[in-house]
Structure 1
Amino acid sequence: MNKTGVLLLSHCGYSFMEELISNAAKHSLESFVLSSLPLPANSYRIQELQEKSAWLAVSENHALTWEDVEQVMQELAAQGYHIVCCLSVWEGYRTLMAKANQILGVADMEPAQVELLLNKYQLRQQLNQAGLSQVNSVLLDEHTWIDLQAKGKPAFIKPVTGIASYATFRLTTDKSWQDIEKIQSEIATDLIYSSIFSANRGFMAEDYIPGQEFSFEIIAVDGQPFVVAIHEKIEVDESGSAVLENACVAPPINLNESQLPKARAWIETIFQHLQLQWGCYHLEARCYNDHWEVIEINPRVGGALISPSVSILTQGVSMTQLWLNNLLYQTAEEQLQQKAQLAKFDLGTETYQQSPMSSYFRVYFAHAGRIRTIQQNICCLEPELVQVSLKSGTEVVETAREVFLGQVLWAIPQDKKNELLPKLITESRNTIQVDYE
């Protein structure tokens, strides 16, 4: 057996493991998996990962620590295994990944850079100080909450460090500080997500950012960012306690040829200021009156179906593959090859080569209640990928975060986009249909 491979950090047995293991195999590399303990209902994942990886370790707790990673790196070395890099798509392990790559001598983000991006309040302050944001923000306590409500200025609430749209909502008169306290209690008992919030940085409020929302999928190589894809969020639901991003299309349909280079230049300015020289990023932003504002910069691949969506646009190279390439291609010659490949996908530049395909995906979220049936309906275009996360009989409890029911991805020929996309947007709303008892 090949003893050279990639150390993959899995959260509770998941975190795109099958996709990452497949990507490593394409480079003739083994997968060494370190997973936090799966929840009891998902204990079967240990056996599945055991069968799919060359080496597996499972921690005693539902969240990995640096001590877990350090110990596994020492064990692998003692057993004669060679780790070429470390990779994790789980945001809570991004700092652990950066520390591991630092030890391995792999070009990656600095751990301190990861921590800055994860701290949404500090990031907003730094962008403001540099003149790269006009959005004001404040740390929340009961006093500042009451003050903001009294002023009546449009504001948006979110955790300083968060994930899965947990407790992200507009400040309205029908909400109270007690709602925040209730959410904090909910987070503390959420075994999957509580570790993300363990730093107890609390909540923040910032000016509400109007406009159309987009996400930029970015790979940075030796100080040069490449915008591999731009997804336009064509349906966003802000009505509850979590923002639900229902449907995305790429390339975007509401950015014209003159706006793309401006957006691209804006991204480059931000990356230069933050000195983000290496890595994979999912930058969320809104554009209003031709002005761009960052919502957040995630130091990882985008969630939902972003990675396979990128694969449609690039004709076969997913976002996770590009991220692994970024970690593996370290020599000057390999970096030049990587840059040449990424330049073809880089929207808003002269080197961009338009893809013959567009991608569209829809995410379906569950509501509180017991699921009676789930069915897939036919629409105007056969999907490329269908994933259903829940099943009949599942009891969905009310929560302040997104609860995935399923997601579907379509590939649209560019020359038929104007004809098919409007139909697809409408008909896809019922592609996955769920009935509750």
Structure 2
Amino acid sequence: MKKNIVLVENQLFYYGYNIIKKLREHGYFVTLVTRDLNLYVEPFRNNQVQNLFEANIIIKVETNSFDELKEALLKVNKEWPIECVVTFSDYYLDITSKVCEYLHLKTNSFSSIENTKNKFKQFELVKKSGVIVPETHVFNIDNTLNYDFLDDVENYPCIVKPECDNGSHFVRKINNKKELKKYIEMVSNIYKNERNQKVSRNYLMQEFIDGIEYSAEVFVENGNIHILGYTSKELYSNSIFAEKVFSFPCEELRDFSDYILENIDKIVQGLNLKYGCLHIEFKIRDNDFILIEVNPRLGGRYISRMIKETLGFDCFFETILLVIKGKDYQFPKLKPCKEGAAYNALFPPIDEKKVSELKLDNKSEIFLMHSPKSNSISDNSDAVGYIYSRQESAKDALIKVKKIECAVKEGGGDL
């Protein structure tokens, strides 16, 4: 009987669509579990969405409910015994881990996922391991509506963001008391996230660390830590805290590799994360590693694609193989990195006619997800599409995506 791989929800970008087809091609039986398939089909103009329908079984169940998800999988297990249950979605890491523990399947422990998803607990744990983190305070939004505490805030600019449950939404750089009050008013009525999950009312106020933000793309297997590479990021602007441009692999950190690995080892041990992909955001200040946050999953958007096309490492497929094979899993030899990749998030306003008229080389593409809802920009969720390019180096790819963006905004022909 074929091994049954259960995917709880799925990541929307590129190889997240393709993993179902790839698993089928390798002889696996695939079960896709989702609360609403329209989450993937309706908003996105991408023919790769059709790969979701390659699953042997598609089950619609309330994936926000542990009991409903558990019962659905117990029923599936009777007919098609489950080999593993995985998710690549931020929103379902904890509930998937809890279900795996119930079904006695391989997983990072539910407690380790909970502690990592909660950014304040995460910081407290890694500090004990000797990792430097920004000065951080937690406050409850329901206790701040009289705004008395605003007079006690002295250190601007600062970063304010949800403690957990909201992905990359509502992360803001706050420059003064007026902006902080406006932010509190904005989030005071937010009780659920975009996946209809109840969210914490706690928020973090964090020291702003200046400089370039990087992320380490990490794969942990059987106690071994593999740094696949580093991604360099650029923000939309100094005032709008939205991640705009990413390039991989970042070579400028080569001299820090041993020091970064030392810190990542402390993070992995401190959070008790034993397997799978990690996306670890950090900055280097005065030659010190400063942790920004840890995400117990692979990097979002096109990061997995950049890794696959430059190193030949499929984060989705290798994670599943690791879960299936356990101690028998062997980390593959990475191909020499002879190319670099970059992607550029497109924010409104966008002239779709200009996009359709562009003629790109065969290593570049534009992916429009949906039409702009408005021309305002506040965070990552306002992106309406992405420019992607693979060139001889990450630097060349970075230049290319920025050049294409100029053509999108101003009009242009061959690129």
Judge same fold: TM > 0.5, yes or no.
yes
CA contact (8 A) 1:235 1:248 kept: no
Alignment of 1:95-110 (within 5 A): 95-110=94-109
Unaligned stretches of 5+ residues in structure 1: 346-352
Name the residue aligned to 1:365: 347
Instruction: Label 1:147 to 1:125 Cα distance change in 2 as closer, same or farther (>3 A).
Output: farther
Instruction: Label 1:154 to 1:39 Cα distance change in 2 as closer, same or farther (>3 A).
Output: same
Q: 2:134 is paired with a residue of what secondary structure? A: coil
> Among 265, 274, 289, which residue is 2:271 paired with?
274
Q: Which moved more, 1:166-175 or 1:50-59?
A: 50-59
Residue 207 of structure 2 is aligned to residue 207 of structure 1: yes
Q: More relative contact order in 1 or in 2 (CA 8 Å, sep 6+)?
A: 2
Name the residue aligned to 2:324: 328
Instruction: Label 1:314 to 1:11 Cα distance change in 2 as closer, same or farther (>3 A).
Output: closer
Cα distance between partner residues in 1 of 2:95 and 2:31: 15
Aligned residues: 400
Cα distance between partner residues in 2 of 1:44 and 1:399: 19
Cα distance between partner residues in 2 of 1:362 and 1:44: 20
Q: 2:67 is paired with a residue of what secondary structure? A: helix
**Matched letter for residue 94 of structure 1:** L
> Among 157, 160, 163, which residue is 1:160 paired with?
163
Cα distance between partner residues in 2 of 1:323 and 1:41: 22
Name the residue aligned to 2:400: 424
Alignment of 1:51-62 (within 5 A): 51-59=53-61
Name the residue aligned to 2:113: 114
Name the residue aligned to 1:86: 85
Deviation at 1:158, TM superposition (A): 0.5
Cα distance between partner residues in 2 of 1:40 and 1:105: 29
Output the aligned Cα RMSD. 3.3
Instruction: Label 1:431 to 1:382 Cα distance change in 2 as closer, same or farther (>3 A).
Output: farther
* TM-score calculated relative to the size of structure 1: 0.81
Residue 168 of structure 2 is aligned to residue 172 of structure 1: no
Residue 370 of structure 2 is aligned to residue 390 of structure 1: yes
Instruction: Label 1:138 to 1:379 Cα distance change in 2 as closer, same or farther (>3 A).
Output: farther
Q: Deviations over 1:34-68 (max 9, x none)?
A: 101255995699x9578421111112x5x532122
CA contact (8 A) 1:284 1:296 kept: yes
Q: Which moved more, 1:220-229 or 1:394-403?
A: 394-403
Name the residue aligned to 1:409: 388
CA contact (8 A) 2:351 2:408 kept: no
Residue 150 of structure 2 is aligned to residue 146 of structure 1: yes
Name the residue aligned to 2:290: 293
Name the residue aligned to 2:257: 260
CA contact (8 A) 2:21 2:51 kept: no
Deviation at 1:215, TM superposition (A): 1.0
CA contact (8 A) 2:283 2:291 kept: yes
Q: Deviations over 1:221-254 (max 9, x none)?
A: 11222111211114453523xx321111111143
Which runs of 4 or more aligned residues in structure 1 lie more than 6 Å from their structure 2 counterparts after TM superposition?
11-16
Q: 2:132 is paired with a residue of what secondary structure? A: coil
Name the residue aligned to 2:218: 218
Cα distance between partner residues in 1 of 2:148 and 2:231: 35
Cα distance between partner residues in 1 of 2:118 and 2:35: 23
Instruction: Label 1:117 to 1:238 Cα distance change in 2 as closer, same or farther (>3 A).
Output: farther
Cα distance between partner residues in 2 of 1:422 and 1:89: 26
Cα distance between partner residues in 1 of 2:218 and 2:12: 26
Question: How many percent of aligned residue pairs carry the same amino acid?
Answer: 14
Instruction: Label 1:107 to 1:148 Cα distance change in 2 as closer, same or farther (>3 A).
Output: farther
Deviation at 1:405, TM superposition (A): 1.2
CA contact (8 A) 1:128 1:135 kept: no
* TM-score calculated relative to the size of structure 2: 0.84
Q: Which moved more, 1:129-138 or 1:379-388?
A: 379-388
Cα distance between partner residues in 2 of 1:267 and 1:155: 25
Instruction: Label 1:244 to 1:44 Cα distance change in 2 as closer, same or farther (>3 A).
Output: closer
Cα distance between partner residues in 2 of 1:210 and 1:304: 24
**Matched letter for residue 403 of structure 1:** D
Cα distance between partner residues in 1 of 2:165 and 2:52: 30
CA contact (8 A) 2:247 2:398 kept: no
Name the residue aligned to 2:123: 124
CA contact (8 A) 1:156 1:207 kept: yes
Cα distance between partner residues in 2 of 1:133 and 1:12: 31
Residue 9 of structure 2 is aligned to residue 6 of structure 1: no
